[in-house]
Amino acid sequence: MCDRKFPYEAELLKLEEGQEEVLIIGGRAFIVSPATEADIERIGKGFFCLD
């Protein structure tokens, strides 16, 4: 298994429900927040599990 962690993993794991962060990747901004069960159902495209 890979020893590398997702960038900013520790900071993202500290986010509580309702909190958001902005990540800039390749010049594009992304809003990141903890997903709720409703969010996962709403998106419906599946998800990535980075264990």
3-state secondary structure of 38: helix
Distance CA 24, CA 4 (A): 20
Contacts of 7 (CB under 8 A, 6+ apart): none
Cβ–Cβ < 8 Å for 44, 51? no
Task: Specify the pLDDT at position 46.
Answer: 60
Per-residue confidence (pLDDT) for residue 7, from 0 to 100: 83
Q: What is the pLDDT of residue 15?
A: 96
Q: What is the pLDDT of residue 13?
A: 93
CB 40, CB 47: distance < 8 Å = yes
**Predicted pLDDT of residue 2:** 66
**Which residue type, as a one-letter code, is found at position 32?**
V
Residue-level pLDDT, tens digit, the chain, 51 residues:
567 788 888 999 999 999 999 999 999 999 999 988 888 888 876 666 666
The first and second tokens of residue 38, run together, are 């409703």
